[in-house]
């Protein structure tokens, strides 16, 4: 481990110890890769302290303003990694702009009046269906009686 200000000198000196195995057309003679310049917030070496102490508070101990992004690494897929956060897709909204993202929240965001209206509509539809079935059954019975022959319902 070396200090950031001496790493260029270290890499130049270490190139002499590397023996090439074969010919390379690479423009680089060192395979360290791209590196960002080292930046320590307020010259703090422990970057985990560069974080907010609460929502909208910031960190008054180190002068971090509110709503500043934290200075520590988060794993991909973590709920704290902004790149891994899924965007919410609104699938609908109720009358007074109550937006919902799933059927579960559609039900949860309904008012009691809306729930009562839906229940009443379902009960009315069920009653209508029962009435249709009983009417059909009665007309089938009447048809069976007529098809048997004999006297009609008028008595002739």
Residue 30 has pLDDT above 80, yes or no: no
Average pLDDT over residues 132-136: 88
Direct distance between the N- and C-terminal alpha carbons of the chain, in angstroms, rounded to an integer: 114
Could you tell me the pLDDT band of residue 129, with boundaries at 50, 70 and 90? very high
Could you tell me the pLDDT band of residue 124, with boundaries at 50, 70 and 90? very high
Percentages helix, strand, coil for the chain (3-state, rounded to 5) are 40, 5, 55
Please give the distance of CA 56 from its chain centroid, rounded to a whole number: 23
As a whole number of angstroms, the distance between CA 116 and CA 125 comes to: 14
Residue 155 has pLDDT above 60, yes or no: no
Q: Which of 76, 82, 69, 71 is nearest to 46 (CA)?
A: 71
Could you tell me the pLDDT band of residue 34, with boundaries at 50, 70 and 90? low
Average pLDDT over residues 109-115: 91
DSSP code of residue 147: H
């Amino acid at each position: 481990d070396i200090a950031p200000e001496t790493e260029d000198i270290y890499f130049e000196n270490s190139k002499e110890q590397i023996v090439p195995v074969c010919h390379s057309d690479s423009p680089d003679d060192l395979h360290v890769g791209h590196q960002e310049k080292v930046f320590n917030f307020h010259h703090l070496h422990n970057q985990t302290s560069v974080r907010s102490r609460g929502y909208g508070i910031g960190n008054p101990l180190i002068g971090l303003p509110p709503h500043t992004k934290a200075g520590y690494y988060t794993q991909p897929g973590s709920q704290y990694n902004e790149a891994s956060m899924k965007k919410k897709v609104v699938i609908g909204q109720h009358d007074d702009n109550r937006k919902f993202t799933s059927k579960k929240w559609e039900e949860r965001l309904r008012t009691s009046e809306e729930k009562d209206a839906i229940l009443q509509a379902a009960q009315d539809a069920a009653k209508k269906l029962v009435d249709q079935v009983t009417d059909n059954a009665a007309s089938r019975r009447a048809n069976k009686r007529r098809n048997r022959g004999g006297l009609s319902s008028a008595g002739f």
